[in-house]
């Protein structure tokens, strides 16, 4: 139901089950035996005395999850203003995984990767894709590393609703037509927030991106690296840029792919993203209209879009069977299924088939796409993606809207940004209005003055992170350089462009950033 600022890599969205692989369980230094690494490394600036016990901790690694991967647990302060010690009740567990550099060639240290979200599991992403799918030359010279950020899956996760409660939440009408439907939507947001407060009261005030970035500096140190080498995708670009702004002297080689613009407030981010999904849908519509099996008919993208709107309206009035007796396909789930497929143009054939089936009365295909987006497993259990996503977003910035009246005022601008998705995404942006914890962050440019060169990657028709966000971030960063991919889909690295991959691989392996304003 709530697609607001859910920014993560393509593979996590489309993969069935949301990459919910059997990862490793966390284990501290007293866990099973393994190689230890990492006293505190030399840093360009001293570590505060109160944090030294955390920076000086050692990780004990053990085999876990998928063959070739190791796992450990890092301790971090719940509250950096009152850190306590790693063995105190003031510490939390941060789950970490790695795959050691395979060689040959000189080891370049660790490469930390983040798949976005916020709320995406870094460990799931590493073990399912990055640790085995990144270019062989990169994996040969780097230890591939990731972690579940605080509040996510294996790292003191935020929990809000049960599986059945989430099923009901994702079906609430997100385009309310009358006072009763508006009230039900507001009630759903309030119940979600109350569930988070009840189940995650301890961690809820401490899952901000700033705190996750500080955890990442701890990780850099305990891995034994003087500088952080990092590839962040989608929301992971905001995490990486925040790190660079906090610790510019500790920046190694940073790639920020599918970039966010940290200077834009929540309302603008949500409206920009709405326009991004419209751009992506029009690319799909143009392609669909050229295919003989397009369920939305032939004609220009406007005509195709109008037919999809009409179909959504029919589902709003009367959901169709989906193969799940308690989850018929209504407008909210169908919209989410379509949005999920827009992340990657390789999913367009699947979307055509799912729409064809749905328009013939079978909603199973679109429901499966929606489930992949929400990371709902076949047994009805959800990963904590949506809970962590809301918790981080609502802490990082003040809410986009204060109440339904503010949504009403903004609806015309959202509908202009996307005639197809505008109304639903405007109402979805109301979720933080009822959050139990006041925001601690705000929109502001991040300069990271003095940092080594940082590569920012933008895709011209990216649905989730509009290209202008990459332009904005690259301009803000003191050492940012923009690499442009003229194409469709969310993010660019490892998605089929030899030009993009060659430029990023050269930077990661040799330290040479792409030429200014390089376009692929």
- Same domain, yes or no: 139 and 277: no
In a domain, 360, yes or no: yes
Tell me the C-alpha distance between 29 and 60, whole Å.
Answer: 5
Prediction pTM value: 0.92
Q: Is the pLDDT of residue 17 over 50?
A: no
- Same domain, yes or no: 108 and 221: yes
In a domain, 176, yes or no: no
Question: Which has more confidence, 65 or 107?
Answer: 107
- Same domain, yes or no: 246 and 116: yes
pLDDT value at residue 8: 59
In a domain, 380, yes or no: no
Q: What string of H, E and C letters represents the secondary structure of 271-311?
A: HHHHHHHHHHHHHHHHHHHCCCCCCCCCCCHHHHHHHHHHH
- Rounded to an integer, the average pLDDT of 114-142 is 95
Tell me the C-alpha distance between 132 and 291, whole Å.
Answer: 35
The tens digit of pLDDT for each residue in 241-290 reads 999 999 999 999 999 999 999 999 999 999 999 999 999 999 999 999 99
- Domain residues for 465? 7-158+205-263+444-519
Task: Tell me: cis bond preceding 135? Omega within 30 of 0 counts.
Answer: no
- Same domain, yes or no: 18 and 37: yes
Q: How many residues does the chain have?
A: 520
- Same domain, yes or no: 58 and 113: yes
- Stretch (H or E) spanning 507: helix 498-510
| Confidence category of residue 316, pLDDT binned at 50, 70, 90 | very high
Average pLDDT along the chain: 91
| Confidence category of residue 105, pLDDT binned at 50, 70, 90 | confident
pLDDT value at residue 250: 97
In a domain, 142, yes or no: yes
Q: Is the pLDDT of residue 36 over 60?
A: no
Q: Catalytic site residue 462?
A: yes
Q: How many domains does the chain have?
A: 2
CATH number of the domain at 85, please: 3.40.50.1820
Six-digit token string for 199? 């189940």
Alpha helices in 343-466 (DSSP H): 348-359, 364-374, 385-396, 404-417, 422-428
- Same domain, yes or no: 492 and 353: no
Give 112's contacts (C-beta < 8 A, 6+ positions apart): 145, 146, 147, 216, 219, 220, 228, 229, 230, 231
With 0-12 / 13-18 / 19 or more C-beta atoms within 10 angstroms meaning exposed / middle / buried, residue 240 is buried
With 0-12 / 13-18 / 19 or more C-beta atoms within 10 angstroms meaning exposed / middle / buried, residue 377 is middle
Task: Tell me: cis bond preceding 437? Omega within 30 of 0 counts.
Answer: no
The tens digit of pLDDT for each residue in 320-356 reads 999 999 999 999 999 999 999 999 999 999 999 999 9
Neighbours of 399 (CB within 10 A): 19
- Same domain, yes or no: 275 and 421: yes
- Same domain, yes or no: 125 and 63: yes
- Rounded to an integer, the average pLDDT of 226-235 is 97
For β-strands 59-60 and 36-37, DSSP reports them as: antiparallel
Residue 235 pairs in a beta bridge with none
In a domain, 391, yes or no: no
pLDDT value at residue 121: 95
DSSP 32-46: S---EE-PPPP-SSP
Nearest Cα to 209, choosing from 114, 131, 145, 133? 114
Neighbours of 209 (CB within 10 A): 24
Number of H helices, E strands in the chain: 19, 14
- Give the end-to-end CA distance of the chain in Å, rounded to a whole number: 35
Q: Which residue among the candidates 5, 121, 332, 490 is catalytic per the annotation?
A: 490
Tell me the C-alpha distance between 28 and 313, whole Å.
Answer: 52
Q: Is the pLDDT of residue 6 over 70?
A: no
In a domain, 181, yes or no: no
- Same domain, yes or no: 217 and 275: no
Residue 309 pairs in a beta bridge with none
In a domain, 409, yes or no: yes
pLDDT value at residue 14: 40
For β-strands 142-147 and 109-114, DSSP reports them as: parallel
Give 330's contacts (C-beta < 8 A, 6+ positions apart): 171, 173, 315, 316, 319
Tell me the C-alpha distance between 387 and 136, whole Å.
Answer: 35
Q: Which residue among the candidates 5, 234, 283, 418 is catalytic per the annotation?
A: 234
Q: Catalytic site residue 332?
A: no
The percentage of the chain sitting over the pLDDT mark of 90, rounded to a whole number, equals: 87
| Confidence category of residue 66, pLDDT binned at 50, 70, 90 | confident
The tens digit of pLDDT for each residue in 457-482 reads 999 999 999 999 999 999 999 999 99
In a domain, 69, yes or no: yes
pLDDT value at residue 16: 29
| Confidence category of residue 299, pLDDT binned at 50, 70, 90 | confident
pLDDT-wise least confident of 20-24, 125-129, 223-227: 20-24
Rg (CA), the chain: 22
- Same domain, yes or no: 146 and 288: no
Q: Catalytic site residue 486?
A: no
With 0-12 / 13-18 / 19 or more C-beta atoms within 10 angstroms meaning exposed / middle / buried, residue 405 is exposed
- Rounded to an integer, the average pLDDT of 142-171 is 97
Q: Which residue among the candidates 371, 462, 488, 501 is catalytic per the annotation?
A: 462
- Same domain, yes or no: 462 and 498: yes
- Same domain, yes or no: 413 and 323: yes
How many angstroms separate the Cα of 121 from the Cα of each of 10, 129, 146, 274, 351? 13, 12, 9, 24, 25
For β-strands 70-77 and 91-99, DSSP reports them as: antiparallel
């Amino acid at each position: 139901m709530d697609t607001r600022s859910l920014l993560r890599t393509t593979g996590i969205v489309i993969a069935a089950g949301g990459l919910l692989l059997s990862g490793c369980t966390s284990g501290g230094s007293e866990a099973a035996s393994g190689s230890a690494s990492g006293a505190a490394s030399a840093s360009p600036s001293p570590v505060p005395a109160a944090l030294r016990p955390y920076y000086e901790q050692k990780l004990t690694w053990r085999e876990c999850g998928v063959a070739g991967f190791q796992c450990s647990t890092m301790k971090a302060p719940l509250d950096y203003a009152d850190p306590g010690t790693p063995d105190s009740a003031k510490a939390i567990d941060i789950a970490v995984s790695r795959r050691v550099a395979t060689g040959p060639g000189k080891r370049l240290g660790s490469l930390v990767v983040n798949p976005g979200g916020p709320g995406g599991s870094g460990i799931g992403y590493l073990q399912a894709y990055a640790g085995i799918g990144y270019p062989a030359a990169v994996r040969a010279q780097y230890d591939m590393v990731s972690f579940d950020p605080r509040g996510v899956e294996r790292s003191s996760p935020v929990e809000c609703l049960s599986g059945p409660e989430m099923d009901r939440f994702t079906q609430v009408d997100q385009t309310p037509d009358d006072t009763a439907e508006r009230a039900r939507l507001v009630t759903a947001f309030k119940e979600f927030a109350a569930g988070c407060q009840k189940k995650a009261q301890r961690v809820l005030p401490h899952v901000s991106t700033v705190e996750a970035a500080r955890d990442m500096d701890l990780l850099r140190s305990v891995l034994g690296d003087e500088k952080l080498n990092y590839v962040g995708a989608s929301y992971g670009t905001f995490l990486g840029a925040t790190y660079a702004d906090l610790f510019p002297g500790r920046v190694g080689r940073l790639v920020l792919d599918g970039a966010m613009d940290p200077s834009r407030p929540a309302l603008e981010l949500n409206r920009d993203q709405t326009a991004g999904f419209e751009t992506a849908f029009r690319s799909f519509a143009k392609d669909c209209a050229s295919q003989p099996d397009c369920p939305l008919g032939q004609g220009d993208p406007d005509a195709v879009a109008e037919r999809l709107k009409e179909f959504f309206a029919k589902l709003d009035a009367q959901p169709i069977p989906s193969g799940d007796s308690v989850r018929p396909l209504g407008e909210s789930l169908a919209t989410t299924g379509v949005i999920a497929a827009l992340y990657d143009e390789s999913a367009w054939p699947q979307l055509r088939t799912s729409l064809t089936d749905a328009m013939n009365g079978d909603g199973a295909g679109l429901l499966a796409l929606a489930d992949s987006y929400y990371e709902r497993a076949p047994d009805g259990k959800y990963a904590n993606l949506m809970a962590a996503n809301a918790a981080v977003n609502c802490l990082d910035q003040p809410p986009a809207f204060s109440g339904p009246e503010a949504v009403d005022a903004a609806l015309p601008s959202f509908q202009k940004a996307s005639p197809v998705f505008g109304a639903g995404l405007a109402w979805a942006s109301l979720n933080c209005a009822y959050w139990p914890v006041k925001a601690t962050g705000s929109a502001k440019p991040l300069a990271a003055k003095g940092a080594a060169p940082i590569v920012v990657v933008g895709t011209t028709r990216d649905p989730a992170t509009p290209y202008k966000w990459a332009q904005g971030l690259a301009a803000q960063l003191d050492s940012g350089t923009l690499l442009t991919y003229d194409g469709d889909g969310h993010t660019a690295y490892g998605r089929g462009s030899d030009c993009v991959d060659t430029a990023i691989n050269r930077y990661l392996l040799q330290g040479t950033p792409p030429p200014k304003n390089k376009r692929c």
